[in-house]
Chains A and B, each alone.
Chain A
Amino acid sequence: MKLWDKLTSLDRRWTFLAMAIAAILPFLVPMGLAIQPTKEVRAVYDAVEALRGAGKPLVVSFDFDPGTDAEIGPMAHAVMTHAMKRDVPLIVLNFIYTGTALAELRLQKVADAFPDKKYGVDYVFMGNKVAFANVMLNMSADLRLSYSTDYFGTPVDEIPMLKGVRNYDDFGLVIGLSGTRLVEYWIIYAQEPYGFRYAIGCTAVSATDMYPYIQTGQTIGLLGGMKGAAEYEQLMVESGLMGALGDAARGLDSQSLCHLVVIAFILMGNVAYFAGRRRG
Chain B
Amino acid sequence: MVSEPLIGGFVSNQLGIWIAAFFTLAIYSFLYRDNVVYKFVENVFIGVAAGYLVVIIFFNNIKPDLVVPLFTEGRLVLLIPLAMMLLVFTRIFAKVGWLSRIPIAFVVGVGAGLAIPNTMMAMVVAQLGGTANIQFTSPDVVVGSLAGIRLLTGGLILLLGTIAALIYFFFSLPHEGPVGQVARVGTWVIMIGFGASFGYTVMARISLLIGRVLFLMRDWLMIID
Contact surface of A with B, Cβ cutoff 8 Å: 13, 16, 19-20, 23-24, 27-28, 67-71, 73, 97-98, 100-101, 127-131, 133, 137, 148-149, 151, 153, 184, 187-189, 191-193, 203-209, 212, 215-218, 224-227, 247, 250-251, 254-255, 258-259, 262
Contact = CB atoms under 8 A, between A and B. Distances in A.
Interface in B74-128: 111, 114-115, 118-119, 121-123, 126-127
B210 A70 contact: yes
B207 A251 contact: yes
Contacts of A206: 200
Contact of A188 (B53, B68, B122, B210): B122
B122 A187 contact: yes
Contacts of A70: 207-208, 210-212, 214
Contact of B200 (A128, A151, A215, A225): A225
Nearest to B208: A70
A215 B158 contact: yes
B47 interface: no
A100 B203 contact: no
A151 B31 CA distance: 39
Given A188-B122, A215-B130, A127 B204 contact: no
A15 to B, nearest CB: 10
Interface residues of B, number: 48
A259 B121 contact: no
Interface stretch (B3-11, B56-64, B168-176, B183-191): B56-64
B217 interface: yes
Given A13-B31, A70-B211, A188 B204 contact: no
B35 interface: no
A28 B114 CA distance: 52
Interface string B29-62: 0011000000000000000010011001100110
A255 B203 contact: yes
B224 A27 contact: yes
Interface string B189-210: 0000100110011111011111
Contact of B115 (A101, A133, A192, A208): A133
Contact of B60 (A73, A151, A184, A227): A151
B217 A204 contact: no
A127 B60 CA distance: 6
B224 A137 contact: no
Contact of A148 (B31, B69, B129, B212): B69
B207 A148 contact: no
Contacts of B210: 23, 70, 226, 251, 254-255, 258
B126 A192 contact: yes
B60 A27 contact: no
Contacts of A225: 200, 203-204, 207
Contact of A97 (B53, B64, B213): B53
Given A71-B204, A148-B65, 15 more contacts: A28-B224, A70-B212, A98-B49, A100-B60, A129-B60, A131-B61, A133-B111, A133-B114, A208-B197, A208-B200, A215-B130, A215-B134, A216-B129, A216-B130, A218-B126
Contacts of A251: 207, 210-211, 214
Contacts of A151: 60
B122 A207 contact: no
Contacts of A23: 206, 209-210, 213
B193 A208 contact: yes
A245 to B, nearest CB: 12
B56 A71 contact: no
A193 B127 CA distance: 14
B52 A216 contact: no
Contact of A205 (B131, B158, B204): B204
A247 B210 CA distance: 10
28 contacts: A13-B31, A13-B32, A23-B210, A27-B213, A27-B214, A27-B217, A28-B223, A69-B211, A70-B210, A71-B207, A71-B211, A73-B211, A97-B60, A98-B49, A98-B52, A129-B60, A148-B64, A148-B68, A153-B64, A192-B121, A204-B203, A206-B200, A216-B127, A226-B203, A254-B206, A255-B206, A262-B202, A262-B206
